[in-house]
Amino acid sequence: MGLVSINIKTGSVDKSDEVVVGIDLGTTNSLVAFMENGRPKAITGEDGKHTLVPSIIHFDEHYGIVVGDQARKKLVADPTNTIYSVKRLMGKSYNDVADRNGFFGYKIIDDDTESLVKIRVQDRYYTPVELSAAILGELKKRAEKALGKKVEKAVVTVPAYFNDAQRQATRDAGKLAGLDVLRIVNEPTAASLAYGIDAEGYDKQVIAVYDLGGGTFDISILQIEDGIFEVLATNGNTFLGGDDFDHAIVEHWLATELRDVDMADAATVQSIRIAAENAKKQLTTSETFETDIAGRKIQLTRSNFNSLIARLVGQTIDCCKNALADAKIGADQIDHIVMVGGSTRVPLVKELVRQFFGKDLHDNLDPDEVVALGAAVQADILAGNQKDILLIDVTPLSLGIETVGGLMDVLIPRNSKIPFSAGRQYTTSVDGQKNLKIAVFQGERDLVEHNRKLGEFVLKGIPPMPAGLPKIDIRFMLNADGILKVKAGELRSGTEQEIEIKPSYGISEDDMALMLIQSIQNAQNDLQTRALIEARNEANIIILSADKFISQNGEILSNEEIEQIRKLVGKLSEAVSGQDKDLINSSMEELNTYTTPLAHRAMDFNIGKAIKGTVV
Ligand code: ADP
Ligand code: MG
């Protein structure tokens, strides 16, 4: 297989025969899609019809699992062993979900409130990452069966508002399922791609993606320019979706036709719920619905249904208003409205959204599939099959420079939107230093030796000044093409130097993923190393100034005092050459405590001398 090289501008890699699939890992349903003859296509199960895999996992008494439709059937009969809505728990601590614990029919566990949630199934504990991996594994299997070959690479989508922990959890789930997640893509970005909105041949475009799923609502305002998607604003409600429409119907029937039905009977309750969802779906295409429940004939018309859900749909429109306000954009400035999620099939939803934005909707693709289809388009771009589409929205790895002791100082954090510019001021560490070497690195580790060196240059001609006095400004500018310019200048003298580098050139997504994984695995170690190096740096400065102090204040210090300072300096120097940061810190403390009163005395003496000087 060897290494693949990705050009950061085109996102293209050298071509091979391997497939990269696109996966929508949803709260309610998940699915997998791939590119066939230049068009994205969702992969069906064995029946050849259904593309959706319910995001539900059922455990039997031996901890054997089934995923999807089979698991969905157990939801009512065996709720404690049937896990759904795992996506809501990704990257969350128990604190984050404590107030919603009642929402889940299964057990959510914490060891301590800071740690990530686990789910208890009988006597075992599962993390959301493991459970998501089970769903991804099912999709992988499905894709392999349909395509007749191994599937090992995927693009996986997440909501635009997912934070770093949630994205990382999704990536980890992929790894666990044996999938190399080449990229995590925002769901609204994927949906826009599925509709071919990639600003090819357009000027800047503003897109509203309205996503109403089973249990969640998301509105995202995106801007695309030169192939770069930027999220301007997101809003929504994590507990509002099609399930609430079903619920509204159930409540309505219980208050009318089914007023005297026996609600203690689980089978009846279940059949009412199923009838409600059927009614909702049927009313998408017809004006009336009729069925029998518990020997009673019940019905619902589209206009009944509309009045039941009007308030809920109104809430989604309020979210749209908030998102526009956050993006500082008027509804009339939106160029495209993309409809996503099974619940956008409801005619009232379409009508109210169209009315609000005053524009036609992109709704001719299957709203359940559109995110996965877009992920497949992105996957195809990454596989190098579409040479001309530029698709970079964020920098995949942090960019920074080496500072004293080999520490990485990050100027542009990973996942920053590009273009991006950042600057910071540094100084020299040696008196009279004329040159400063600036080495640029890419990666997440605390020590530059573990990161990837992109280039280095020397800022020459710094006028001689005592250490710490020069003001050296280092500026990183990452442009839309992913090209990094580094500029360094000494502000007092006006000396300047500049270089240009291509950060990701020659680095594969595999390497990037590896670097990220290593940075997470080594985070604890790195933190300790960083603390040690910082303590050493500080100690070295103190040792230097103690030496200076002795040579400048010989006349006011007794021999014993000088000896004691030397002894403490010796002890500190020894600590600096060791590995124990606590010993360095305590030796520093000891030296400081001893010299502070001496420094005060020296200061008084020197001031006294200065005053005498003026009198004479
Ligand atoms: P998620 O993104 O949360 O995984 P989906 O986008 O798959 O969810 O949407 C699932 C929701 O779409 C369910 O509430 C389902 O009842 C609803 N839905 C599916 N088909 C229709 C239809 N024809 N009319 C109305 N609602 C539908
Ligand atoms: Mg969805």
Give the tens place of pLDDT for each residue, 177-199: 999 888 888 899 999 999 988 75
pLDDT tens column, 405-428: 889 999 988 767 767 888 888 888
pLDDT tens column, 516-534: 667 666 666 777 787 888 8
Percent of the chain with pLDDT over 90: 43
Q: Which residues surround ligand 2, an ion (CB under 5 A)?
A: 26, 213
pLDDT of 15: 42
Please give the residue that has the higher pLDDT: either 51 or 612.
51
Confidence of residue 241 (pLDDT cuts 50, 70, 90): very high
Average pLDDT along the chain: 85
**CA–CA–CA angle 65, 71, 72 (5° rounding):** 165
pLDDT of 394: 61
| 532 Cα to the center of ligand 1, angstroms | 54
Confidence of residue 299 (pLDDT cuts 50, 70, 90): very high
Please give the residue that has the higher pLDDT: either 487 or 305.
305
Within 8 A by CB and 6+ apart from 82, the residues are: 56, 57, 58, 59, 71, 74, 75, 105, 106
Please give the residue that has the higher pLDDT: either 580 or 100.
580
Q: What is the mean pLDDT of residues 285-306?
A: 94
Q: What is the mean pLDDT of residues 336-352?
A: 98
In short, whether 159's Cβ falls inside 6 Å of ligand 1 is no
Closest of 426, 445, 407 to residue 534, by C-alpha: 407
Residue 269 predicted with pLDDT over 60:
yes
In short, whether 429's Cβ falls inside 6 Å of ligand 1 is no
**Active site (annotated) includes residue 87:** yes
- On the CB side of 493, CA atoms within 13 Å amount to 17
> Across 245-376, where does the E strand assignment appear?
288-293, 296-301, 336-340
> Across 137-216, where does the E strand assignment appear?
153-158, 180-186, 205-212
Q: Where do the structural domains in the chain lie, given as residue ranges?
A: 20-196+369-382, 399-521, 530-614
3-state secondary structure of 211: strand
The one catalytic residue among 138, 198, 211, 369: 211
3-state secondary structure of 180: strand
Residue 589 CA: distances (Å) to CA of 170, 560, 570, 583: 45, 20, 14, 10
How many helices and strands (H and E) does the chain possess?
Answer: 14, 26
The one catalytic residue among 172, 187, 218, 393: 187
Residue 363 predicted with pLDDT over 80:
yes
Q: In terms of DSSP H, where are the helices of 415-558? A: 509-521, 523-552
Query: DSSP letter string over 348-416?
Result: HHHHHHHHHHTS--B--S-TTTHHHHHHHHHHHHHTT--TT-----B-SS-EEEEEGGGEEEEEE-TT-
CATH, range 20-196+369-382:
3.30.420.40
Angle between helices 164-176 and 509-521 (to 10 degrees): 110
Q: How far apart are CA 384 and CA 13, in angstroms?
A: 5
The one catalytic residue among 24, 172, 244, 246: 24
Residue 7 predicted with pLDDT over 70:
no
Within 8 A by CB and 6+ apart from 591, the residues are: 542, 546, 565, 568, 569, 571, 572
Lowest mean pLDDT across 103-117, 123-137, 570-584: 103-117
3-state secondary structure of 151: coil
Q: What is the mean pLDDT of residues 255-265?
A: 85
pLDDT of 3: 29
Task: Assign domain 399-521 to its CATH architecture.
Answer: Sandwich (2.60)
Q: Do domains 399-521 and 530-614 have the same CATH topology?
A: no
Which residues partner with 422 through β-bridges?
Answer: 476
Confidence of residue 595 (pLDDT cuts 50, 70, 90): confident
Max CA pair span of the chain: 116
Q: Does domain 530-614 have CATH number 1.20.1270.10?
A: yes
Q: What is the mean pLDDT of residues 222-229?
A: 79
Within 8 A by CB and 6+ apart from 616, the residues are: none
CA quadruple 343, 347, 352, 357: dihedral sign = positive
Residue 21 predicted with pLDDT over 90:
yes
Residue 389 predicted with pLDDT over 60:
no
| 280 Cα to the center of ligand 1, angstroms | 10
**Phi, psi angles (nearest 5°) of residue 174:** -60, -50
Residue found under tokens 């922990």: 165
Ligand 1 pocket test: which of 249, 280, 343 has the largest number of ligand atoms within 8 Å of its C-beta?
343
pLDDT of 566: 92
Ligand 1 pocket test: which of 210, 220, 280 has the largest number of ligand atoms within 8 Å of its C-beta?
280
3-state secondary structure of 313: helix
In short, whether 384's Cβ falls inside 6 Å of ligand 1 is no
Q: What is the mean pLDDT of residues 294-318?
A: 95
Residue nearest to atom 16 of ligand 1 (CA): 242
Q: What is the mean pLDDT of residues 478-499?
A: 78
Which ligand is the nearest neighbour of the Cα of 341?
1
Please give the residue that has the higher pLDDT: either 417 or 210.
210
In short, whether 50's Cβ falls inside 6 Å of ligand 1 is no
Percent of the chain with pLDDT over 70: 87
Q: How far apart are CA 106 and CA 115, in angstroms?
A: 19
Q: Radius of gyration (Cα) for the chain, nearest Å?
A: 31
pLDDT of 251: 94
Which ligand is the nearest neighbour of the Cα of 159?
2
Confidence of residue 10 (pLDDT cuts 50, 70, 90): very low
Q: How far apart are CA 140 and CA 13, in angstroms?
A: 22
**Active site (annotated) includes residue 187:** yes
pLDDT of 4: 34
**CA–CA–CA angle 505, 509, 514 (5° rounding):** 115
pLDDT of 8: 40
Which ligand is the nearest neighbour of the Cα of 29?
1
Residue 64 predicted with pLDDT over 80:
yes
Q: What is the mean pLDDT of residues 221-249?
A: 88
3-state secondary structure of 447: strand
How many residues make up the chain in this entry?
Answer: 616
| 243 Cα to the center of ligand 1, angstroms | 8
**CA–CA–CA angle 368, 22, 412 (5° rounding):** 115
Which residues partner with 438 through β-bridges?
Answer: 457
**Phi, psi angles (nearest 5°) of residue 467:** -55, 140
Q: Are 430 and 401 in contact (CB under 8 A)?
A: no
pLDDT of 508: 60
Residue 231 predicted with pLDDT over 50:
yes
In short, whether 236's Cβ falls inside 6 Å of ligand 1 is no
Residue 419: asked if its preceding bond is cis (omega within 30°), the reply is yes
| 382 Cα to the center of ligand 2, angstroms | 22
